[in-house]
Amino acid sequence: MLHDALATLSGSLVGFVLGLIGGGGSVLAVPLLVYVVGVPSPHVAIGTSAVAVALSALASLAGHARLDHVKWRCAVIFAATGVVGALIGSTLGKQFDGQKLLLLFGVLMLVIAGLMFKKKDGQGDAFVALTRVNAPTLLPPLVGYGMVVGLLSGFFGIGGGFLVVPGLMAATRMPLIFAVGSSLVSVAAFGITTAGNYASSGLIDWVLVALFIGGGIIGSALGLRTSTLLASKKQMLSRVFAIIVAAVGIYVVLRGLQNVAG
């Protein structure tokens, strides 16, 4: 009973953060599943969180698509390339020692916290689009960034939104709002790829997935409502959350070093 309550509560926290600041919550999923819910295998935690991340991204994508915030051609190319990287990354992740994987995950959390601090609203080119004319210029960076981000996403079992967004902006110079909307195509695709790979090895706890997603729905609704009330303080909220991610990352790194050292 306590296990189920903790799983639901953890899902609610992840959903709340996603609803509040539009991303980043998924990076907390694996640490929450391992250190709060008590999932004994880091690999099962990664596989389980990948399912939840993919479903959350699909739900968010529908909303952004209705607002015309998705640059579909750029998003699909980035995602398609990234899926190859995610497949390779998740295959490598399954074979990697679980405790060392958690240690590296903690390091990645610190990197993501740094990216969150540096994230700017940036204007960019709102009319950017992938065409036959600019394909020779746009395709190489889209493919390159997509492959690297997909690899990291698959290896660590995260949605990778905070890696996809700067990747899309760097590759195309699209504004932040379009990068956020377009990134969800990749986040969903990477999550599905990673989840499928882990599911093939029996590394997903489906009951836990249901509890986590159920809590996430409740948390997202609360997060969206809070976000509306604090709309003028989004940047401050993002930075506060970056501090939380960094703190959790330090904890995961220290625990990882302790476990690796024996």
Q: What's the pLDDT band for 143 if we cut at 50, 70, 90?
A: very high
Write down the domain spans for the chain: 2-261
Query: Highest mean pLDDT: which of 16-25, 62-71, 110-119, 154-163?
Result: 62-71
158/152 Cα distance (integer angstroms)? 8
**Mean pLDDT along residues 167-192:** 86
Distance of CA 148 to the CA centre of its chain: 14
Per-residue H/E/C for 133-149: CCHHHHHHHHHHHHHHH
Cβ atoms 108, 93 nearer than 8 A: no
Is the confidence at residue 158, as pLDDT, over 80?
Answer: no
Q: Which residues of 46-70 are buried (b: 16+ CB within 10 A; e: fewer)?
A: bbbbbbbbbbbbbbbbeebeeeebb
Total residue count of the chain as it appears in this document: 262
SS3 98: helix
Q: What's the pLDDT band for 30 if we cut at 50, 70, 90?
A: confident
Name the region of 71 (left: φ>0; alpha: ψ -120 to 50; beta: rest): beta
pLDDT of res. 122: 53
The mean predicted confidence, pLDDT, of the chain is 84
- For 8-52, the DSSP string reads HHHHHHHHHHHHHHSS-GGGGHHHIIIIII--S-HHHHHHHHHHH
214/51 Cα distance (integer angstroms)? 13
Cβ atoms 25, 16 nearer than 8 A: yes
Cβ atoms 12, 230 nearer than 8 A: no
Tokens of 36: 């709060």
**Mean pLDDT along residues 225-248:** 74
Enclosing H/E stretch for 5:
helix 2-21
Global pTM value: 0.78
What CA–CA distances, in Å, run from 159 to 22, 135, 142, 151, 186? 13, 27, 18, 11, 8
Cβ atoms within 10 A of the Cβ of 258, count?
11
Q: What's the pLDDT band for 22 if we cut at 50, 70, 90?
A: low
Tokens of 170: 């760097």
